[in-house]
Amino acid sequence: MKYNRFLLCLIFITPAYVYALDGGVNSLRQTGKAFAEVARTVSPSVVFIQVESSLSEPKTPLLPTPFGGEWPFGDDLFKRFFGDQLPGLPRSPAPRQRRHSVGQGSGFVFMSKGGLLSNKTYILTNNHVVEHAEKIQVKFQNGHEFDAKITGTDPKSDVAVIEIKAGELPALPLGNSAELEVGEWVVAIGNPFGLSHTLTVGVVSAKGRTGIGISDYEDFIQTDAAINPGNSGGPLVNLDGQAIGINTAIFSRSGGYMGVGFAIPINLVKSIAQQLVDHGEVTRGYIGVVIQALTPELAKSFNIEQSQGILIAEVTEDSPAEKAGLQQGDVIIAYRNEKVTNVGDLRNRIALTEPGKRESLSILRNGKHKILNITIGKLSKDKLTTLSSTQSSDELGLTVQTMTSQLAEQFGIKEDKGVVVTKVEFGSIAASAGIHLGSLILQVDRQPINNVEDFQRAVKKSRADKQILLLVRDGNNQRYIVLSW
């Protein structure tokens, strides 16, 4: 009897299991069909880009040898032992030779223009793909090849537009990268290692990645869709077949795919691309401030309850920011009535604002909200201190000295105020915070520092709290640093 009940259970369970298995397979089939449809839709707009260039490099002629030919171990070994006085070694700089180079990358059509006299198709790619190009050739999936020329490049964002003399070619629709969510499926299409029109699939791993060091203006989409050398310039697309980014770089210890790739969001690209088509260059807005993230430690030092916002570390003299009334220590919490999320976000939004426009900034100053109107300026290429005593601070792990003309010359400092760091203890909190030899300390707890006596008094005053706020200048940049011990 028990045996029969067991068989009866098997009879009822087995069909349900088969149905679940079949349903899962069907779901996977539908997902695969979706990716296949994206590939069919997008691939005709994606191009393989081949770039030819020649670079100048020193030509090192081999020395005549007693053996009637080349030195058996090359020039370098004999230079190491005999120096440049070895007979036969050229005394003048070696002549330079041109080295021919062939590079490759990807791109995609985003605009076509037809006219009575000519047709043009514009292709988006990375600046680093076509930089130094002497000849550019693009190849479509159907085998058609065209010679291309550069329409305009923008090294600061790593975006470039090239053009070909052809019309009615399929343009890839541009999506809205602001609507993209972490976890969404994305597809990367390009020519990794020269393998034409390769498709890889993944998800959006993160958004708003800045500080990567790839370009000046960063707001990257991070994805685990495989991106490899040759993918640069190709589109990152959503399941609707819309370009939501330009594949640009990978994080890798081997030079190949390791699960971390970066794409420039298409919303950042749109404005840049249009300016490159219309004018061949990009004009950016600027307000003239040095900004940094408002950390919880900095917020506490400034008596600010919230930790969201961007801290102004410096206001440039006679800049739009100064004219609008912005001050050092102000915290920007909104631009154009929209909250700012990070330094890169604010910087990009200001840069993409048309110079001459009047916009609003919401700030916190001494805990109070203020709204200032600012006229955006145009960013130009050039915008991007007797005997002294020393003071050592064991808590901070550094030694400072009052600024002198000799120290200013030694460390290349133009300021005639503040104290210069002349020693940093290895492993100290100062070293961990990025303070180094030659750093200039201008303020301690928001009070100006003119000499080591000022510095000593300020540090002594902060010992009870075991926390100190410094305004530090390194080169042309300055920032606030909170040290705790």
Contact 49, 106 (CB under 8 A): yes
Beta partners for residue 467, in sequence order = 484
- What's 192's DSSP letter? G
Rounded Cα distance, 40 and 231, in Å: 18
Identity at 62, one-letter amino acid code = L
Q: Which residues are within 8 A (CB) of 28 and not within 5 positions of it... i.e. 6 or more apart? A: none
User: Over the range 361-397, which residues count as b (16 or more CB within 10 Å of their CB) and which as e?
Assistant: bbbbbeeeeeebebebbebeeeeebeebeebebebbb
C-alpha dihedral sign at 403, 404, 408, 413: positive
- What's 186's DSSP letter? E
Establish whether 101 is a catalytic residue: no
Establish whether 56 is a catalytic residue: no
Q: Which residues are within 8 A (CB) of 349 and not within 5 positions of it... i.e. 6 or more apart? A: 335, 336, 340
Question: Read out DSSP for 348-359?
Answer: HHHHTSPTT-EE
Establish whether 158 is a catalytic residue: yes
Rounded Cα distance, 187 and 203, in Å: 8
Catalytic residue from among 106, 128, 330, 362: 128
Rounded Cα distance, 88 and 72, in Å: 15
Catalytic residue from among 154, 158, 219, 454: 158
Catalytic residue from among 232, 362, 428, 439: 232
Contact 431, 447 (CB under 8 A): no
Half-sphere exposure of 434 (CA within 13 A, CB side): 10
User: Over the range 58-88, which residues count as b (16 or more CB within 10 Å of their CB) and which as e?
Assistant: eeeeebeeeeeeebeeebeebeeeeeeeeee
Residues designated as active site: 128, 158, 232
